[in-house]
Amino acid sequence: MASRNLLRAIIMGPPGSGKGTISSWIVRDFQMSHLSSGDMLRAQMGKGTGAGVAAKEAISRGELVADDVMNEMILAELEEITGKSFLLDGYPRTVHQAEALSKAQPVDVVVNLAVPFKTIRERIENRWVHQGSGRVYHTVFNPPKNPGVDDETGEPLIQREDDKPHSVSARLDIYQKQTEPLLEFYRKEGKLAEFAGTESKVIYPEVKSHLAALFSTVA
């Protein structure tokens, strides 16, 4: 890896583990391209492309989007940024996707956020939002002044459909069945770096020093 200041990374973790938050801090601190599969799918859906139409159906059923659709979309994007550092967020999510990625583009490190399911459930299932402004409350950690209503407008708070307990259970179930096996895949390759904890603010400094050390060895 002589004289290359390049880091190809994946971030993994169950839904609600803080991947989005930690990804935004990583790309800020290390100047990497952030490729979020969820964001890319939402963009495709907005444009109504073939991938977008396929994605919309799967997502509305609470399922994963087909591997072929995902591989094609992400690998095309990765080709565009050959030779640059990147952080993949939300991809790969199945062993088939990981195999397709390995063939196309090896990665240097896989960061796994090992946040307990109990913490995730408490975080997501108690989350209420004010639809108009996007203000987010938590019934225990950040409750509104008056139960069930927004502090600023007094309008009712809603719970997002995918934050309801049955949806959260379904998402965690899919994660466990289809995505968790990937950890073993990357552990065997010696690429897995695991970070356990319940709070992003506490987990991130460890992730940062791990990546900083790798950056200097590939530099």
Count of CB atoms situated within 10 Å of the CB of 30? 16
38 contacts Mg ion (rule: CB under 5 A): yes
C-beta closer to ligand ATP: residue 109 or 124: 124
Answer with the entry of ligand ATP, Mg ion, none that 70 interacts with (C-beta below 5 to 8 A by kind): ligand ATP
Active-site residue flag, 127: yes
Distance CA 164, CA 56 (A): 20
CA atoms lying within 13 Å on the CB side of residue 63: 9
Active-site residue flag, 61: no
Distance CA 119, CA 14 (A): 11
- CB of 23 within 8 A of CB of 211? no
We find the least distance from the C-beta atom of residue 44 to ligand ATP, in angstroms, to be 10
Count of CB atoms situated within 10 Å of the CB of 10? 24
Number of H helices, E strands in the chain: 9, 7
Active-site residue flag, 19: yes
We find the least distance from the C-beta atom of residue 114 to ligand ATP, in angstroms, to be 14
* Helices within the chain (DSSP H only): 19-30, 37-47, 50-60, 67-80, 95-104, 117-125, 165-174, 181-188, 200-218
C-beta closer to Mg ion: residue 38 or 143: 38
Each residue 87-126 as x (binds ligand ATP by CB under 6 A) or -, in order, gives ---xxxx---x-----------------------------
Active-site residue flag, 160: yes
For residues 36-75, which are near ligand ATP according to CB under 6 A?
A: 37-38, 41, 58-59, 64-65, 70
Catalytic positions, written as ranges: 19, 93, 127, 160, 171
Q: Contact positions toward ligand ATP, by CB under 6 A?
A: 15-16, 19-20, 37-38, 41, 58-59, 64-65, 70, 90-93, 97, 171
Q: Contact positions toward Mg ion, by CB under 5 A?
A: 38
